[in-house]
Amino acid sequence: MKIRIELYCPNCQSAKVVKNGKKPNGKQNYLCKNEGCGRQFIGDHNLTYKGCHSNINRKITLMLVRGVGIRDISKIEEVSIGKVLTVLAKSSYSITPKKKHYDHIEVDEFWTYVQKKENKQWLIYAYDRE
């Protein structure tokens, strides 16, 4: 039985990918043959740390928007809390409100350090329980 894995370049999303030797740790290296790209990478199926997977940032952003807590996301996706906070701090995702006026909203804020103590980030969010 043969297992076939479809690989796409993490840079240009092209399917024109070929094997390109092995890394010193024994993992298969791939090369994108799309014009102008030429990116080398290791496939998601072969990565040790899940924080490096190509779609993890999208998953983390979606869970944050849906109200899942930072520690919960870290546990569910098996990534570090720092990874979740980095995605949150770098996110430009914005939500458009469903209504122009709300009778009651809850607002909360918190601050955290991202990568180093000099990089303090404030995050403020508001939501309607209904």
Helix H, strand E, coil C: the string for 16-76 is CEEEEEECCCCCEEEEECCCCCCCEECCHHHCCCHHHCCCHHHHHHHHHHCCCCHHHHHHH
**DSSP-assigned beta bridge partners for residue 116:** 114
Q: Which domain holds residue 42?
A: 1-46
In angstroms, what CA-CA distances link 79 with 63, 67, 87? 13, 18, 11
pLDDT in tens, 70-126: 899 889 888 888 888 888 888 776 767 777 888 888 888 888 888 888 888 888 877
pLDDT recorded at residue 47: 62
CA distance 101 to 79: 37
| Model confidence pTM above 0.85 | no
Domain presence at residue 15: yes
Give the total number of structural domains in the chain.
1
Domain presence at residue 65: no
Residue 24's Cβ-count burial label (10 Å; 0-12, 13-18, 19+) is exposed
H helix or E strand, kind and range, residue 77: helix 70-77
Average pLDDT over residues 39-65: 76
Is the confidence at residue 22, as pLDDT, over 80? yes
pLDDT range class, residue 45, cuts 50, 70, 90: low
Higher-confidence residue of 15 and 51: namely 15
Domain presence at residue 75: no
Domain presence at residue 125: no
Domain presence at residue 1: yes
